[in-house]
Amino acid sequence: MNHFITTQDWSLDALQEIVDHARELKDDPIQPLLAGKTIALIFFNPSLRTRTSFEVGTWQMGGHAVVLEPGKGAWEMAFGDGEVMDGAAEEHVREAARVLSRYCDLIAVRAFPKFEDWQVDRQDATIRAFAKHATVPVINMETITHPCQELAHVMALQERLGDLRGKKYVLTWTYHPRPLNTAVANSSAIIATKFGMDVTMLCPDERYLLDERYMGWASENAAASGGSFNVSYDIDAAYAGAEVVYAKSWGALPFFGSWDDEKPIRDANKHFIVDERKMALTNDALFSHCLPARRNVKATDGVMDSPNSLIIEEAENRLHVQKSLMASLVGASAPTGAAT
């Protein structure tokens, strides 16, 4: 069974095939590759881009998408093995995943961390439970990684830069008033290294390092691809000569569950905003962000709206890469080398 839970389970060639087919679908969007097929889109958290692009993409390929929001129109769900279900949850994933597999050809899940205990959240238990019990492929719509965003990001970068190998790529932490998910930062680190870029992760200090799993994968990917992966706490040095600047805010893992203690550290680092002065240090770098992004907090209007900004292209590409991915997973266009 092919699932799409993390790009780390997929070969570089298989991911490139998804992106290449997405480029064809961008040029010729209405193709019946999902005719007669259905996908369940399960959202435990809000969305604008993900929900719209999956629904529209499924329709453009002749399929049907069913949106389910557990706790809001669908039963609250339990996940624990052996759990005594005497709380709010009316349904267990063991039944939900198998029943949905009888109705649908694909199941996609968005399930953010609970932000209380990283040792629990890092297990990615919700989507792993769906993958365990479903009998159809499961797609990650953002949990503790965001692999669909990764594909859209790579596609947008390749459209502007061509071959990404050796390109100087900066993943920069930015301020946000609340501690956010590390998913996109994890994803940025693993996909940029997988495609051979020279990656610098810029953050305030060692407390903002990502989980060792993703730091490790980034280093392994860099070794395999001929790229590199480094950490910097020096803003000007990191930006110098960069060809890509990718911005994201995330909460410091040592403060999971005690966020009030992180707030003064976070508030002292508002100067990590991506602005014109920092971008002037780069090699005419492209800028992007997964969106949504708070303007003039994470990046200035001037950066967000500059000709070098990929934010809208990357968001558009969510539609194309997800169509390509869904077609691949139902066997309508199957890349070789995907995980089984």
Q: Which residues bind ligand CP (CB under 6 A)?
A: 47-50, 142, 149, 290-292
Tell me if 190 sits within 8 A of 214, measured CB to CB: yes
Distance of closest approach, residue 241 Cβ to ligand CP, in angstroms: 28
Spatial neighbors of 60 by CB under 8 A, at least 6 apart, are 29, 30, 31, 323
Q: Which residue has the tokens 């995943």?
A: 97
Distance of closest approach, residue 163 Cβ to ligand CP, in angstroms: 25
Tell me if 48 sits within 8 A of 41, measured CB to CB: no
Q: Which residue has the tokens 């040095």?
A: 237
Between 7 and 149, CB nearer to ligand CP? 149
Distance of closest approach, residue 291 Cβ to ligand CP, in angstroms: 5
Residue 115: how many other CB atoms lie within 10 Å: 16
Between 131 and 141, CB nearer to ligand CP? 141
Cα–Cα distances in angstroms (integers) from residue 240 to residues 139, 162, 234, 324, in the given order = 37, 21, 10, 36
Bridging pattern class, strands 106-110 and 91-92? unpaired
Between 35 and 48, CB nearer to ligand CP? 48
Distance of closest approach, residue 141 Cβ to ligand CP, in angstroms: 7
Longest dimension (CA), the chain: 58
Distance of closest approach, residue 264 Cβ to ligand CP, in angstroms: 28
Spatial neighbors of 87 by CB under 8 A, at least 6 apart, are 78
Between 65 and 222, CB nearer to ligand CP? 65
Q: Which two tokens stand for residue 171?
A: 């993943």
Distance of closest approach, residue 262 Cβ to ligand CP, in angstroms: 22
Residue 241: how many other CB atoms lie within 10 Å: 13
Between 241 and 292, CB nearer to ligand CP? 292
Between 17 and 142, CB nearer to ligand CP? 142
Distance of closest approach, residue 313 Cβ to ligand CP, in angstroms: 13
Q: What is the distance between the alpha carbons of residues 56 and 29, in angstroms, rounded to a whole number?
A: 11
Distance of closest approach, residue 122 Cβ to ligand CP, in angstroms: 20
Q: What is the distance between the alpha carbons of residues 298 and 272, in angstroms, rounded to a whole number?
A: 8
Please report which residue ranges of the chain form alpha helices under DSSP H.
12-27, 49-60, 93-103, 118-121, 125-133, 147-161, 183-194, 212-225, 235-239, 259-267, 276-279, 301-304, 311-329
Distance of closest approach, residue 315 Cβ to ligand CP, in angstroms: 7
Between 146 and 167, CB nearer to ligand CP? 146
Residue 293: how many other CB atoms lie within 10 Å: 18
CA nearest to 297, candidates 252, 261, 267, 255? 267
Between 47 and 306, CB nearer to ligand CP? 47
Between 292 and 302, CB nearer to ligand CP? 292
